[in-house]
Amino acid sequence: MNTILNVKNLRKNYEKFLLNDLTFQIFEKEIVGFLGPNGSGKTTTLKLLINSIPADGGEIFFLGEKIKKSHIEFRRYIGYMPETGTPYEFLTAKEYLEFMMDVYKVKKNDKKIDELLSIFDLKDVKKRIKNFSKGMKQKLLFISAIIHDPKLLILDEPFNSVDPQTVYLMKKILIGLKDEKTSIIFSSHILEIVEKLSDRIILLNNGTKVYEGEINKIKKEESVEELFNRLSSSNDADENLKKVIEIIKE
Ligand SMILES: Nc1ncnc2c1ncn2[C@@H]1O[C@H](COP(=O)(O)OP(=O)(O)OP(=O)(O)O)[C@@H](O)[C@H]1O
Ligand SMILES: [Mg+2]
Overall CATH class of domain 3-87+149-249: alpha beta
Q: What mean pLDDT is predicted for residues 197-217? A: 97
Q: Which residues pair with 213 in a beta bridge?
A: 201
Query: What's the mean per-residue pLDDT of the chain?
Result: 94
- Confidence band (pLDDT; 50, 70, 90) for 87? confident
What's the CA-to-centroid distance between 171 and ligand 2, angstroms? Answer: 20
- Ligand number nearest CA of 14 is 1
What's the CA gap between 227 and 215, in Å, rounded? 11
Residue 44: CB within 6 Å of ligand 1?
Answer: yes
- Confidence band (pLDDT; 50, 70, 90) for 75? confident
Which one, of 179, 92, 213, 56, lies nearest residue 221 by Cα?
213
Residue 41: CB within 6 Å of ligand 1?
Answer: yes
Residue 14: CB within 6 Å of ligand 1?
Answer: yes
pTM: 0.95
Quick one: which H or E segment has residue 81?
strand 78-81
Sign of the four-CA dihedral 27, 30, 35, 41? positive
First CA to last CA distance, the chain: 58
Q: What mean pLDDT is predicted for residues 219-247? A: 89
More confident: 232 or 121: 121
- pLDDT tens digits for 26-57? 999 999 999 999 999 999 999 999 988 999 99
Hey, which of 14, 35, 210 would you mutate to test ligand 1's pocket, going by the most ligand atoms within 8 Å of its Cβ? 14
Q: What mean pLDDT is predicted for residues 199-213? A: 97
Hey, which of 42, 83, 84, 189 would you mutate to test ligand 1's pocket, going by the most ligand atoms within 8 Å of its Cβ? 42
pLDDT at 233 over 80: no
Hey, which of 11, 22, 43 would you mutate to test ligand 1's pocket, going by the most ligand atoms within 8 Å of its Cβ? 43
- pLDDT tens digits for 55-65? 999 999 999 99
